[in-house]
Amino acid sequence: MASENGEDKLLAAVRHIAKTLGRTETMADDILQIFSTFDGRLSREKLSEKQHDDGSLGDGGGGAVAAGDDRLSLSSMNRTLRYLDHQISRFVALDRLIWSDSADASAFLEAVDDLLDTIHDLDPPAPGNKPLLDRADDLLQKCMLRLEDEFRSLIERSDGGSPLDAPAAGSSPFDSDGENSDGDDVQVPVAHPVKDYDLIIDALAPGTVSDLHEIARRMVAAGFGRECAEVYALAHRDFVEESVARLGIRHRTAEEVQGTPWADLEDEIARWLKALNMVFRILIPSERRLCDRIFTGLSPFADLAFAAVSRASAIQLLFFADAVAIGNRAPERLFRVVDMYEAVRDLFPDLDPLFSDQYSTFLRTEAATVSKSLAAAIRGIFMELENLIRRDPARAAVPGGGLHPITRYVMNYLRAACASRRTLEEVMEEDTGTASPPDPDRPSSSLAVQIAWIMDVLQGNLEVKSKIYREPSLSCIFLMNNGRYIIQKVRDSELNVLLGEEWIRRQMARVRRWGNEYQRATWSKVIAVLRTDGATGSAKAMRERLRVFNAYFDEIYRAQTGWVVADEQLKAELRISVSELVLPAYRNFLGRYRNAADSGKHAEKHTRYSEEDVEARIGELFEGTGKRS
């Protein structure tokens, strides 16, 4: 009986050794096969019997065998841990990279796998296993710390242009910064601006990526996945941040951005626009791909590493845009802010798949927030344009009733702005507080309403300025000049699409009304002098009327040759209308004067201007020359 119990214990011990050392069923079976060749008592048939058969040994011997198995198991586990401790400590103590030798790297990973299997067998701990599990956990901590160092070194050496699996030179727009050419500092690959954004950058060589994946797999299996992702982010973040810096982008506070002179800020925005596309269309997608390859099958640690490595640079770029958006809203900033809005808006189709995980979705939300902030800035700039027009003082009159600078500025500004009409319509439609136009004939889009309102504000400002002129007729010339210029700028641009033909017809009617007012203010007294109402009158009375006409006409000629009508068509129309009003009345008056009973041969003596002279002088009006009579 004792001999049978001894044999059972031997068989149990052999089975346990095979189970402990064999990580798979096939390996355990191979170990049993080796044992069977040493001793006839260890035949495959006996070793293959069920180890825990309660009925095979009887009630009295079962407890003794189980106790023996436990002692043998503890002893075997102890020997295994001692062996692994010896193996792992040898690698941990190396003063060089383990991964500098591929054989050492494979052996170290195999030892880590054996340790993980041993810990798995010890967990949950049976009575008496707790000290062994503690020893195994301590050994695992050493492994993880060394793996972290190896993981970090692989990234940094590859990033730094090390011969270890270094990418081929010129294979991407990311090259080492040549400023650290003395070799004392680690050279960090950085990005050069490109125009083709449809590409992916392999910042790490395929062999390095494979090694990093093997390390990551062990760290995740050991419960150190988050630490591995953080090590990756810390090691690779310099590559991303230095690449952004190479594009001319540096971290700045909102106060610094808003305190920068606009000319300098414009240059920064131009660099930002290029950097935004480079980072969000090439650099960050490349990081997404790299993280997915290193942490393939190890979700969610690929997402965690990606978010950690890309967060700072993405936020830096978005923060700059937000700082510009909440800053000064002077009208001249519109065009650059529109460029920024369009750049962020056009990224959204790429951001949705890029930042879809739980760790980076906030970046997509942040981009949407910045887009709304830029849109609000654009609307605010239009409001500031209105205020600028309202505040423009009516101080000095424009000489000759010519085009006012505010008219030229506003119309050229709106004309240039409407080159981005669709973007501006999109921005204005976002503003749900925009009221519908009260006039059904007015354009219906929010942008059209905004532009029409600015036109009304401009027109009101011009009418106030027209009152500076002492001569009502010159006020009319001033309004006609500016009104005709507005019509021309609307017709020759996208403003025509926004405001429509009905708006133009109303503006032309205004110009015609001012023309009629000009005629009444200037020429009504002249026509009144020439009107005889059918009665010839005495020669003396006719001569007096002629003298008064000459005085009026001389006064008008002296003044209005110095007035300005810049638009040639408007100038011609005014001259024609004056001629059609004055010449028939003057011709009729001269005929009656010559036929007067007592004027006789002295009629021509008192006639200073022939009909042709009057017509010629009318043709010299509005030249801005200020001729003398």
Which residues face 191 on adjacent strands?
174
The pTM is what?
A: 0.76
Residues 6+ apart with CB under 8 A from 198: none
**What is the SS3 string spanning 88-124?**
HHHHHCCCCCHHHCHHHHHHHHHHHHHHHHHHHHHCC
The pLDDT value given to residue 533: 67
Which residues face 623 on adjacent strands?
564
Peptide bond into 438 cis (omega under 30): no
- Cα angle value 585/591/596 (rounded, 5°): 125
The pLDDT value given to residue 18: 62
Tokens 């889009």 sit on residue: 445
How many other CB atoms are there within 10 angstroms of residue 105's CB atom? 19
Q: pLDDT for 516-548, tens place per residue?
A: 999 999 999 999 998 876 555 677 888 888 899
For residues 554 and 558, give the distance between their C-alpha atoms in angstroms, rounded to a whole number: 6
* Residue of 446, 443, 413, 410 lying closest to 427 (CA atoms): 446
Residue 473 predicted with pLDDT over 50: yes
For residues 99 and 104, give the distance between their C-alpha atoms in angstroms, rounded to a whole number: 7
Amino acid residing at 579: S
Residue 56 predicted with pLDDT over 60: no
| % of the chain at pLDDT higher than 70 | 76
Under the banding of pLDDT at 50, 70 and 90, the label for residue 605 is low
Are the CB atoms for 485 and 407 separated by under 8 Å?
yes
Q: pLDDT for 246-256, tens place per residue?
A: 998 888 899 99
Complete DSSP assignment for 561-589: TSSB---HHHHHHHHHHHHHHHHHHHHHH
Q: pLDDT for 305-342, tens place per residue?
A: 999 999 999 999 999 999 999 999 999 999 999 999 99
For the residues 265-283, what does the mean pLDDT come to? 94
Categorise residue 596: left if φ over 0, alpha if ψ from -120 to 50, beta otherwise.
beta
Paired tokens of 290: 């790299």
Which residues face 176 on adjacent strands?
189
The pLDDT value given to residue 170: 38
Are the CB atoms for 231 and 144 separated by under 8 Å?
no
Q: pLDDT for 119-164, tens place per residue?
A: 888 776 666 677 888 888 899 999 999 999 999 999 988 754 332 2
Paired tokens of 551: 């005085």
Under the banding of pLDDT at 50, 70 and 90, the label for residue 73 is low
For residues 279 and 244, give the distance between their C-alpha atoms in angstroms, rounded to a whole number: 7
